[in-house]
Amino acid sequence: HSVTYDIDQKYKTPYHSRYLSFLKQAQEKNVIVAAAMTDPKGDRSKGPSAQDDPDLFTHVVERRPDGVVIRGAKAHQTGCVNSHWIVVMPTMRLQEADRDYAIVAAIPVTDKGLTFIYGRQSCDTRALENAGSDIDQGNAKYSGQEALIVIDDVFVPWDRVFMDGEVDFAAPLVDAFTTYHRRSYVCKTGVGDVLIGAAAAIAEMNGVAKASHVRDKLVEMAHLNETIYGAGIASSHESRPTRAGNFINDDVLANVCKHNVTRFPFKLARLAQDLAGGLVATLPSQHDFASDETGPILKRLLRGRSRNDTEARVRMLRLIENMTMGRNAVGYLTESLHGAGSPQAQRIQIERALKLEEKKGFAKTLAGVKE
C-alpha cells in the first residue's frame, strides 16, 4: 500500500490505483493472497544480476505491450498451496544492475507456468498411513506445508504489476514487509497456548499436576509466551501513519517480537517434553493399542493416574510429539527460527535502530563527560 503510493509520488506511475483495485477484488471475493518473497538466492555473496544462473532470483524476461513475462522461483512458501493468488516481490535491496529483478506482480496459483514442489516434513508420511492412524498423527486436524514455487515464463498483465524496475523501492518494500511480518509472528503464542495446555493436561494425566516443579514449569512456559505477546501488541500500539494513510507498526518492537520467537518456542518445547515424560518418544503405535494381542496389555501397562484415561493420555502424548518433533514442529520451531528472517536478520535490524548516539549522550551527561 504505502510503497506503491511512494513510487507513484516519485515516478508518476499508476501502481497505487492498480493495487487498490486488486485489493478491493481480493476482499470482495474473500481470497487468500500469499506473499512470495524469498528467492533461492544461490551464492549468497552475490546479488541477483551477478549470479551465474539468472533464474536464482525472480525477474522479468520480457516486456510486452500488455504486460510482463516473469521467470524464477520462490522458496519456503508456507501456505501457498492453499492460497488463491501469489504476489511475487523482491527479497532484498537491489542495485541499478538488478532492474529486471525489481518486480512485484500478482499471479493466480492456477497459472500453468507455476509449479509447486512440495517440501517433505518430519513425520509427513504418518498423514498417508491408513485411515486408522489419526491418533499417531498427533494432530489429525491441522498441519502446514511449504513448497518451492517454480515460475516458468508466466505472463502478467499490467493491471496486476505493482512495481517494475524501480530498484530504489526494493529496500523500502522489504523493510515495510518485514516490519509487518515479524510482528505477525506473535501468532506463535497461540500455538504456545496449545502446548502449555497439552503440558498441563499430560501432567494431570500423569498424576503430578500439583508438584511444585511442574507448576513452576507451566508458569515459565506462560511467562515466555506472554513475553512474545507483549512485544507484538506493543509494536502495533506504537504504529504510525505512512504518507499513504495506512498505518505501520513499530519496527524495533516487531524485530524484538520475532527475535524472541526464534528463542522461546525451543524452550517451551523442551519444557513440554519434560512434563510429558519419556513416553512421548517411546509410545507404541495406536495399532498396537487396537490389536487384540497387544492392546489389552498396553492399556493395562500404559495407564496414567486413572484406569480409563489411556487413550486420552496417548492422544496428548502424540500431540506433544507432533508439536515438538513432528509435522507441527516444522511450524512451531523451524519456521519460528527462519520465517520472516533468521535470527541474525533481526539483530541487524535492531542494530540499525540502536540510536547509539542518543544513548551515548545520556551516559555522557550522567558521567559528566564534555565533548
The smaller minimum CB distance to its own copies, of residues 24 and 364, is found at 364
Interface segment toward its own copies; rule CB under 8 A; list 61-69, 97-105, 157-165, 340-348: 340-348
3-state secondary structure of 212: helix
The smaller minimum CB distance to its own copies, of residues 210 and 243, is found at 210
CA 217 to chain centre: 26
Contacts with its own copies: how many residues (CB under 8 A)? 139
HSE-CB of 7 using CA atoms within 13 angstroms? 26
Q: Does 316 bind its own copies (CB under 8 A)?
A: yes
Q: Which of 22, 26, 42, 95 binds its own copies (CB under 8 A)?
A: 42
Give the shortest CB-47-to-its own copies separation in angstroms: 13
Q: Does 342 bind its own copies (CB under 8 A)?
A: yes
DSSP per-residue string spanning 28-77: HHT--EEEE-----SSTTS-GGGSSSGGGS-EEEEEETTEEEEEEEEEEE
Give the shortest CB-122-to-its own copies separation in angstroms: 4
Stretch 273-302 residues interacting with its own copies (CB under 8 A): 273-274, 277-285, 288, 294, 297-298, 300-302
Q: What is the Cα–Cα distance from 348 to 222, expressed in whole angstroms?
A: 28
Q: Does 233 bind its own copies (CB under 8 A)?
A: yes
Give the shortest CB-143-to-its own copies separation in angstroms: 11
Q: How far is CA 149 from CA 76, 131, 154, 238, in A?
A: 8, 30, 12, 35
Q: Which of 1, 84, 99, 338 binds its own copies (CB under 8 A)?
A: 338
Residue with grid cell 505472463, as numbered in its chain: 155
Q: Does 125 bind its own copies (CB under 8 A)?
A: yes
Q: What is the Cα–Cα distance from 22 to 30, expressed in whole angstroms?
A: 12
| Bridging pattern class, strands 85-88 and 59-64 | unpaired
**Residue 331 per-residue DSSP state:** I
Interface segment toward its own copies; rule CB under 8 A; list 24-32, 82-90, 95-103, 209-217: 209-217
Interface segment toward its own copies; rule CB under 8 A; list 85-93, 96-104, 171-179, 357-365: 357-365
